[in-house]
Structure 1
Amino acid sequence: MAGNSQAPFQILLVEDEPVIRELVRSMLSDGSVDVVCAANGLEGLKLARSGTFHLILMDVVLPQLDGISVCRILKSDPATADVPLYMLTAKAKRSDMESATLAGADGYIHKPFRGAELMALVERLRAGQTRPESA
């Protein structure tokens, strides 16, 4: 992604698998995108509430507090409700997607995902779309 002189686009990645955290961080981080990582739901919730993020990517299955619960909490809080939140997960049943949607998730990205899919999402959001369609 091309760099610019603006403040970095802030992404919160809540993912318990270290390999996936590092993959996403290396894929998206550059001078114009900064990826902050959390390894469990409680840490993700705390970081989301304490930072100014442009996008949250969250696994569904997380230790301490699952991603659906974190999503529900963040989307019910006026301070974080407008931050686009995408579930990034291997759970692919229709009922899983419906649960995420009911909790307020803005989209659902299936693992394994393509790097181009994540980069396209970030670029759409950076271009000013506040509620992009599912990737």
Structure 2
Amino acid sequence: MEVGAFRGNDPEIAGQDKPTGPTILLVEDNRTLSMLTADLLHQEGFTVDLLYEGRPALEQVRRVQYRLILMNVNLPDVNGLDVTRQLKADPLTCTIPIIIVTAQAMQVDRERSRQAGADAYLSKPYDVYDLFELIRQLLA
């Protein structure tokens, strides 16, 4: 399992203030997008853990108390909606808000996300301010 973490010791963000906000898990297989998103979230004060596959996310969520999960749908090992279903079915993880982030932008995709138990849906490309607003709403 490969986990990237933005907890204040990453060389790319050395010298920046350590985040003091909630810890978010970002599950995204596109490494460039995941690093960019994590950096933006870090700048907003969030602690961000990165995972590039879905199965490790199921294990990681049981070890770390995440306040929110950003979940891509098309992951290399498993569908992000399946991971979402499993997390929402587990009493230990069912209360963690999950935002589905995907390039699939049809109404049927939104409905599938809702049926999987996602708390919100954001289609790529998205405005980062929309992402921040969704996160703030779900953490309020």
* Equivalent in the alignment of 2:84: 71
Q: Over residues 60-85 of structure 1, what are the superposed CA-to-partner deviations in whole Å (9 max), with x where a residue is unaligned?
A: 00011110100000000011100000
SS of residue matched to 2:69: strand
2:103 aligns with 90
TM superposition shift of 1:47: 1.4
Distance in 2 (CA, whole Å) between partners of 1:46 and 1:62 is: 16
Secondary structure of the equivalent of 1:40? coil
The answer for the alignment partner of 1:33 in structure 2 is 46
Residues 45-60 of structure 1: pairs in structure 2 closer than 5 A: 45-60=58-73
SS at structure 2 position matched to 1:13? strand
Alignment of 1:1-135 (within 5 A): 8-30=21-43, 32-126=45-139, 128=140
SS of the counterpart of 2:118? coil
TM-score of the superposition, structure 1-length normalised?
Answer: 0.83
| TM score, norm. by length of structure 2 | 0.81
Percent of pairs identical after alignment?
Answer: 35
Change (3 A) 1:7 1:78: farther
**How far apart are the structure 2 equivalents of 1:82 and 1:118?**
19
Greater CA deviation, 28-37 or 75-84?
A: 28-37
In the alignment, residue 26 of structure 1 is paired with which amino acid? D
2:20 touches 2:47 (CA, 8 Å); kept in 1? no
Q: Look up the equivalent residue of 1:63 and give its one-letter code.
A: P
In structure 2, what is the Cα distance between the partners aligned to 1:13 and 1:19? Answer: 13
Runs of at least 5 residues in structure 2 that lack an aligned partner in the other structure: 1-18
Give the secondary-structure state (helix, strand or coil) at the position aligned to 1:45: helix
